[in-house]
Chains A and B, each alone.
Chain A
């Protein structure tokens, strides 16, 4: 079975500062994908960034970047220049491919942006 662990139930950051959200995972598969999803109060899960396990280069999307440490099974999300609109629940998720069992999500980190 695969697992995803987010050890930070809540994080707070000042507007315009940088914050890092942590995620560790476990899977026996060698081919997998990792994701960070954002869930604002509107409840819709929005994909923030994705990383293919076979790629060594860390993914980046504008102000969002990841630090993917495959050997350590770690996948953290860095948000630079935090904005008020970044406030939401953030979920780390793992997909091992083949359609089986869909995505496995962590319990989430509630990100608060202090103005």
Chain B
């Protein structure tokens, strides 16, 4: 069990650029979640996959955001035309089958949009 892995740890980009983050969940976990955490706040739910199916999307997930989990393993989160308000830490979490109450988090990707 190597834990949930996120890449990169930090990303600095200019406004208007596209960025993509990757999350590798724990191998036997079929559920994968993306959260966003801004300074001084708790994480906010963005979206959730069960295997390759994206089952829930928060209204926080504007049409500039897209997430995929093509083979039910790793997931990517892409932000197009980044804005300064997108600056935040993006956290990924995974959970085992039928154990939605046992989330394991990665260390996050810190995004700074200049």
Residues on A lying within 8 angstroms of B by beta carbon are 4, 33, 35, 37, 42-47, 50, 52, 91, 93, 95, 97-108
Bound complex: CA A33 to CA B50 (Å) = 20
Q: Which A residues touch B108, using CB under 8 A?
A: 43-44
Residues of B bordering A, CB below 8 Å: 31, 33, 35, 40-45, 48, 50, 55-56, 58, 89, 91, 93, 100-108, 110
A99 and B101 contacting across the interface, CB-CB below 8 Å? no
Residue numbers in A under 8 Å from B42 (CB-CB): 4, 91, 93, 105-108
Report the Cα distance A99→B101, complex, angstroms. Answer: 9
Chain B residues, CB < 8 A from A42: 107
Q: How far is the CA of A98 from the CA of B58 in the complex (A)?
A: 15
CA distance A47 to B4 in the complex (A): 14
In the complex, are the beta carbons of B43 and A105 less than 8 A apart?
yes
B90 to chain A, nearest CB (A): 11
Whether A100 touches B56, Cβ cut-off 8 Å, given contacts A45-B91, A47-B103, is yes
Q: Which residues of B contact A95 (CB under 8 A)?
A: 100-101
CA distance A97 to B55 in the complex (A): 14
Q: Which of B40, B56, B102 contacts A102 (CB 8 A)?
A: B56
